[in-house]
Amino acid sequence: MISIKKLATVGAAAGLLLASAVPVLASDDLNITQKNKAYVKNDITATSNTGGNKIKANDDVKGGKIKTGDAFTGVDVTNVLNSNEATVDSCECFNDVTINQKNKAKVKNYVTADSNTGDNKIKAGDDVKWGKIKTGDAFTGVSVSNILNSNVATVN
């Protein structure tokens, strides 16, 4: 008669042999999940001002001059949010490859930009003679870029 000890030993040896000869039976699927969530609020105010200059006299102004330079305001806003990349190289070890890429983004851009060389005054109680106001140029430039929710999935 075969003892239980010998039967268990033969069973264990058979299990080891089977495990080494047969591929893994647990799972031959690959599941990849990538999730991103972003909220961005840009609240930007930019101002440049060379204006608001005054010459004021109680009597006459003779030869009063106001000369301002240029006013330049530049704003550049760039938001890059929620980028996913998944690459699976060919190993021929998966029957099924599932890639889930989910992105959610909310962006609020509030941009105010102003350039001003104006509101310059020459004021006298009586006469203004040869008064002169010369202002520079006012430039305002705004650039807003939002790159959101980009996904790349490659299965070779």
pLDDT tens column, 77-105: 999 999 999 999 878 888 899 999 999 99
% of residues, the chain, pLDDT over 70: 83
- Between CA 151 and CA 156 the distance in angstroms is 16
The rounded Cα 84 to chain-centroid distance in angstroms is 14
Residue 4's pLDDT band (cuts 50, 70, 90)? low
State the pLDDT at residue 17: 45
The amino acid occupying position 100 is N
- 139 vs 50, 116, 146, CA distance in Å? 12, 8, 24
pLDDT in tens, 99-149: 999 999 999 999 999 999 988 988 887 777 888 889 999 999 999 999 999
